[in-house]
Amino acid sequence: MSRFDTYFLMKTPDALEYAVEKGYMPAGGKLTAKEIGDGNLNYVFRIVDEDSGKSVIVKQAGEALRISAAMKVSTDRNRIESEILQIQWQYAPGLVPKIFGYDTVMSACVMEDLSDHALMRYALMRHETFPRFADDISTYMVNTLLKTTDVVMEHKAKKDLVKSFINPELCEITEDLVLTEPYNDVNHRNIVFPTNAAFVQRELYGDEALHLEIAKIKFEFMNNAQALIHGDLHTGSIFVKQDSTRVFDPEFAFYGPMGYDVGNVVANLIFAYDNGVAAGNDAFCAWTLETIEKTIDLFKEKFLLVFDEAATDTMAKTKGFKEWYLASVLSDTAAYAGTELIRRTVGMAQVKDVTTIADEQKRAYAERVNVLAAKDYIMHRRDFTTGTAFVDAIKRAAQGAK
């Protein structure tokens, strides 16, 4: 009989004891533990053996979310996260953390400690640059996304994955926070920067043509079981160092449109750009724009290569299909870059890249850039077929927001 036979929310000493009892860390060692979680949902403990230097991460899902005690979400998200990371390790080895084990009773998983990396959002807020990022993230996305579609997978095996990654509660968070509330504040949780209140009223709440496009995009998200997507691929879900990129935290994973992941990466690089603009760091801004361009162009290039190498479906090999399919993914990419830009600007879960801009006018300007670029992406989504096109929209928004 162990105290870990029944679920309870662990405190730091419990996590240390857990790591020892489950055999991940040596008994009798000089062990230390610290809670290092930084996300909106879970608890993350780093356990270190000070003698050997060995360390692991214990991540536990609580029944209520960290961001709001009123929001309750099934702890099954920890199983989803652990299983998908193991699947992704096969498709994109070295680009996700290694999972050592997970436990459906405690809703906890134990994984590789990546403390030698930095959380990408904070590194970008320090205006650090990562030359490998576009190459790594495009490899990660093409391999984890395209290889889990019906283009590549045997269709019954794919449907088994669709079943096992049904993730209704986390999807509901996205359906509400990303694809509904930013346009109407229906649940009264939006956070609008007062300086831009009239702008938000006009550009978001009052734009019926935009609402119609968002309705279409929302139903694409809910009904296009295209690939096993990460589902929350922002820069707080990525660890980086100069020679390594690791994507973690895929608890929002489900079978959805690939463009949701690619679009989230684009939007979050724009938040880094916003921060660079506010600080007047031209070199950093140039790197963010170049990285957006390269990410899209490398994604396209690798997508077509992997399609040729790995497609198994007879009809998918029809001449012209792969180009049509890629065009639809890029159109979705533009759409979901737009929805991420808008929801992080007026929704309840915002990003520090922008909220820490101390100067009121500079922050208001950054938020207007985000909304104008977003609307361009959403309203003209089929036109965004190259990296340059994605970057040009940001430059237009930067002019329009003045």
Contact footprint for ligand SR1 (CB under 6 A): 39-41, 65, 67, 71, 173-174, 177, 232, 349
CB of 237 to ligand SR1, least distance (A): 7
Which of Mg ion, ligand SR1, none lies near 274, with the C-beta cut-off 5 to 8 A by kind?
none
Q: How many CB atoms lie within 10 A of CB 21?
A: 13
Element (H, E) at 31: strand 31-35
- Beta carbons of 47 and 68 less than 8 angstroms apart: no
The residue type at 166: I
Smallest gap from Cβ 203 to ligand SR1, in A, equals 21
Nearest residue (CB) to Mg ion, 67 versus 186: 67
173 vs 369 by CB, closer to ligand SR1: 173
Q: CB nearer to ligand SR1: give 39 or 276.
A: 39
Q: Choose the contact partner of 379 out of ligand SR1, Mg ion, none; CB within 5 to 8 A by kind.
A: none
To Mg ion, the closest distance from the beta carbon of 232 in angstroms equals: 5
Q: Which is nearer to Mg ion, 173 or 298 (CB)?
A: 173
Considering the complex, state which of residue 67 and residue 212 has its C-beta at the smaller distance from Mg ion.
67
3-class secondary structure per residue, 285-344: HHHHHHHHHHHHHHHHHHHHHHHHHHCCCCHHHCCCHHHHHHHHHHHHHHHHHHHHHHHH
State how far the Cα of 196 lies from the Cα of 287, in Å rounded to an integer: 28
For Mg ion, the closer of residues 228 and 289 by Cβ is 228
CA dihedral 328, 331, 335, 338 (to 10 degrees): 150
CB of 248 to Mg ion, least distance (A): 8
Q: Which of 345, 376, 381 is nearest to 181 (CA)?
A: 345
Strands of 238-241's sheet in order across: 118-119, 238-241, 244-247
Q: Which does 36 bind (CB under 5 to 8 A by kind): ligand SR1, Mg ion, none?
A: none
Three-class DSSP category at 120: helix
Contact assessment for residue 181 and residue 190, using Cβ atoms and an 8 Å cutoff: yes
- Least separation in angstroms between residue 391's CB and ligand SR1 is 24
How far, rounded to the nearest angstrom, does the alpha carbon of residue 320 sit from its chain's CA centroid?
30
User: Considering the complex, what minimum distance in angstroms separates the CB of residue 310 from ligand SR1?
Assistant: 30
Q: At what angle do helices 360-379 and 321-346 cross, to 10 degrees?
A: 150
3-state SS assignment for residue 349:
coil
Partner whose binding site includes residue 353, from Mg ion, ligand SR1, none (CB under 5 to 8 Å by kind): none
Q: Which is nearer to Mg ion, 110 or 398 (CB)?
A: 110
Q: 39 vs 276, which CB is nearer to Mg ion?
A: 39
Q: Which residues bind Mg ion (CB under 5 A)?
A: 39, 249
CB of 67 to ligand SR1, least distance (A): 5
* Least spacing, CB of residue 232 vs ligand SR1, in Å: 5
173 binding partner (options ligand SR1, Mg ion, none; Cβ < 5 to 8 Å by kind)? ligand SR1
Nearest 10 degrees: CA dihedral of 222, 382, 136, 309?
90
